Amino acid sequence: MDGKWIYNDDESGVWNKCDEAYDTREEAIAAGREAAKEYGWTDLFVARKEIAKPKISIDAYEILNNAALELNDRYGFCTELGECFLSSFSDTERSLLQEMLDKAMTEWLKSINYQSGLFICCEMERVPIGEEETK
């Protein structure tokens, strides 16, 4: 779907008027003009889809910090426990944890075959529609 073309009757908002994506701009314009005739649209816009690929990062420091807070809570808000816990890890050890978390997230997304249905519209343009096309 990445790089394919779609059409809509509005340049903003949700682009859900187009049921399929087209290989070329010209194919999207032709299909959009047919939809404009059918639905009486006064405007037609085409755009190239770019799949939005989220970068999901789990912050290793945040996880360690949450563990430190849990230690403090469990043992009567003894803040020294949490501080000692946090300070017991070197930068190298925290970096290793970050790498492992990033790898685990990537593997998890792959194992569930995650396919983002999210996209952004690039190269959007208004296509003129003649009055005869909307009748």
Q: How many C-beta atoms lie closer than 10 Å to residue 6's C-beta?
A: 24
pTM above 0.85, yes or no: no
Q: Is the pLDDT of residue 35 over 60?
A: yes
Selection from 97, 105, 19, 94 nearest residue 54 by Cα = 105
Q: Is the pLDDT of residue 135 over 90?
A: no
Q: Is there a contact between 49 and 6 (Cβ–Cβ < 8 Å)?
A: yes
pLDDT category at 131 given cuts 50, 70, 90 is: low
Name the residue with higher pLDDT: 105 or 132.
105
What the block records as the tokens of 28 is 């999207």
Q: Identity (one letter) of the amino acid at 93?
A: E
DSSP string, 41-75: -S-EEEEEEEE--------HHHHHHHHHHHHHHHT
pLDDT digits (tens, 9 = 90+) for 68-110: 999 888 887 666 888 899 999 999 999 999 999 999 999 999 9
pLDDT at residue 120 in the model: 87
Q: Is the pLDDT of residue 17 over 90?
A: no
Q: Is there a contact between 3 and 48 (Cβ–Cβ < 8 Å)?
A: yes
- Non-local CB neighbours of 65 within 8 Å, separated by 6+ positions: 86
Specify the 3-state DSSP secondary structure of 33: helix
Q: Identity (one letter) of the amino acid at 134?
A: T
